[in-house]
A and B are shown apart, each in its own frame.
Chain A
Amino acid sequence: MSDEEFEYTDDSDSLYSDSVDDDNFKIEDSLVKHDIVQYKQHTTREMMETLHKKCTKLSEVLGKPHDYVVTLLQSYKWNSEKLIEDYMDDPQDVELRLGLSTVKLNGEHHENTGLQTYTEEAPFSCFICCEDKLESYKLKCGHEFCLDCYRTYLNEKVKQANVIKCPSCDVALTPGDIDTISGTNGSSVLLENSIKEYVERHKTYKWCPSPDCNAIVEVLNSSDIAHLVDTNQIPIVICSNGHRFCFNCGFESHVPAPCNVTKQWINKCKDDSETVKWITTHTKTCPKCDTSIEKNGGCNHMTCRKCAYEFCWICLGTWDNHNNQYYQCNRYQYEQAEKNNKSAKDKKLQDEATKKSLQRYLHYYNLFNIHEISTKQDKSRCDVVENTVREVQEGVGISWIEAQFLVDSASTLLNARRVLKWSYAVAFYCDRGYSLDLFETVQAGLADAVEALSLLFEISDVEVIAKKKLNFLNASKLLEDRQRAMVLATEETINNGTLRL
């Protein structure tokens, strides 16, 4: 054994701490991030490459073929340390157990394994389908089945992500066997499934929850996660595609809301949102007493049963105005709408006790929902921001690096809006009082800044965009500051003990 091989065995406690062969390994993607969580970013392909590299090294150490080692490691769920330990103890036992040796089969040794071909005159009779076939596959245990049956068998077994064994006994199929039988790269599908299982089974790994993202994050201080969550800190990680998510919840970043608030809020939304949706789509509230009213027919001249207030169903204004100028309310009246909105909001605060909680929830849910929808819109806008950058470059003639402020602002906006969104969930669980007042003041500031930056992104004229670069930078800076203030205010609110779960 050479020195290098010894070094490898020492290193093998962590599967991915490989530092030897970094020339063909994308090291920049797996940089360790130092924050409250220390983590590495991986992609599925990288994981495959790393695993294959492990296998190559191990095959040198054990002096066995690559395929053989892949099967060994797969049976050991990629725990190379345990494998080496067991293998050094008693290689024959390991081989027998994993079906890599045929010693158990009374020392029988079968020649001509692999693909077999037959003629029409003397065809092969397959035990599984009981039909006469011309092509079959034989393993070293001597068991032989037709290719069609083997393929069906493999397709079933590949899903289970375990080492595939001979249908008749415990002899394992090597990746080479699998590829020959399936005619495609069936073994890499199996390997991929095996990685999936590996990631799901190990608490230190998590898939990025973003749709269509198959990046993997490995947390190095996973034992700290529970403590972080208990102390209301949020273990946010960023995958190699730049998606931020909470490692504990496996959910999008929910800063500043702690994990327990997030969980409760999501459950609440799941339970209540259907009711809320129905109420918001089918009913309107009486402008005077806020009773929910469902209109099941008739004209738009409404009389509230509760307070006898007469109003118009369309504009929710008092009916008095409609007497002489009928249907003036089809014209959108900005001031009026604003006023109505405001008065409705003010009245919400004096609500009766029973309806209070639902309305309070509705209030925050709506705000949360509005920002969720806005986030989606922002996201689609940010997706094309690269195009805008190019347009600005070409249209105004500035350099790529000078136009990068757009990309930075876009991600600032996205993050800030997410923070704003989740702050509404926190607010819902806060007691009324001085602390909440303070919290909501900061929140209003953040909302203001979010809209200000969002407004700048409405500009489509590239020249104006270039001219307003300073505005973009200022708005982003302000937004970042306010976002930080929001996170601090949340921490303070939580520390004050005003959170009620």
Chain B
Amino acid sequence: MATKRLMKEYNSIQKALSDTQEYENIVSLEPTGDLFSWCGVIRGPSNSPFQAGTWKIKIEVPQNYPIAPPKMKFVNKLCHPNVNFQTGEICLDILQNQWTPAWTLLTTMSAILLLLQDPEPTSPLNIDISNLLKSGDIKAYNGLIRFYTHKYAIDSV
């Protein structure tokens, strides 16, 4: 089941990435080796402090996909309230209990992009940056993110 579905996803992804504007910030999404390990690259949205950065996301697809969600992780460092700065682990409900088989690798990637612009500081993995956001210090929040983006995410891919 998983192979057939992944095959179909693979075919539609290339088309969707080149054809539509919807996925303009997804640079690439393709399998590395077999169909069960993928690598995606996203670009920071232009109206955000993540602008100009690019991040690599390592995707591991379980054998019982799409019943179980894929595992996604940032490879290069990203400073964001819901991403673990050290490990790159992402705290996103659809990657855990809110996952349904109707999500695809591509839609999950765009969900991660939405998370970049729309952080959820109440369930943080990076407490320091969350505190900045919660206290309302947007200037410091944006500044710190810009700093880390330039340090770790320029020419990173």
Contact = CB atoms under 8 A, between A and B. Distances in A.
Contacts of B100: 153, 165, 167-168
A153 B7 contact: no
A57 interface: no
A152 B1 CA distance: 12
A130 B8 contact: yes
A118 interface: no
A149 B1 CA distance: 10
Contact of A128 (B7, B97, B102): B102
Contacts of B7: 130
Nearest to B5: A130
B123 to A, nearest CB: 19
Interface string B98-125: 0011100000000000000000000000
Contacts, number: 32
Contacts of A166: 102
B8 A128 contact: no
A129 B4 contact: yes
B66 interface: yes
Q: Is the interface of B mostly helix, strand, loop or mixed?
A: loop
B101 A160 contact: no
Given A128-B66, A156-B67, A149 B4 contact: no
A128 B64 CA distance: 11
Interface in B1-46: 1, 4-5, 7-8
The bracket for how many chain B residues form the interface is 10 to 19
A142 to B, nearest CB: 13
Contacts of A394: none
B8 A168 contact: no
A149 B101 CA distance: 9
Nearest to A156: B67
Residue of B8, B66, B97 contacting most chain A CB atoms (<10 Å)? B66
A108 interface: no
A131 B8 CA distance: 10
Contacts of B4: 129-131
B81 to A, nearest CB: 25
Nearest to B2: A129
Nearest to A150: B101
B35 to A, nearest CB: 12
A143 interface: yes
Given A128-B66, A152-B67, A156-B67, A167 B101 contact: yes
Interface in B77-108: 97, 100-102
A127 interface: yes
A166 B5 CA distance: 19
A229 to B, nearest CB: 34
A129 B5 contact: yes
A152 B5 CA distance: 15
Contact of B102 (A129, A130, A131, A167): A167
Interface string B31-74: 00000000000000000000000000000000000110000000
Residue of A130, A160, A165, A167 contacting most chain B CB atoms (<10 Å)? A130
A130 B1 CA distance: 8
B144 to A, nearest CB: 36
B97 A129 contact: no
A166 B101 CA distance: 10
B93 to A, nearest CB: 13
A157 B102 CA distance: 14
Nearest to B3: A130
13 contacts: A127-B101, A127-B102, A128-B5, A128-B101, A130-B4, A130-B5, A131-B1, A149-B101, A153-B67, A153-B101, A167-B100, A168-B100, A168-B102
Interface of A: 127-131, 143, 145, 149, 152-153, 156, 160, 165-168
Given A127-B102, A130-B5, 6 more contacts: A130-B1, A145-B101, A152-B67, A153-B101, A160-B97, A167-B100
Interface of B: 1, 4-5, 7-8, 66-67, 97, 100-102
Nearest 3 CB-CB pairings of A with B: A168-B102, A167-B100, A128-B101
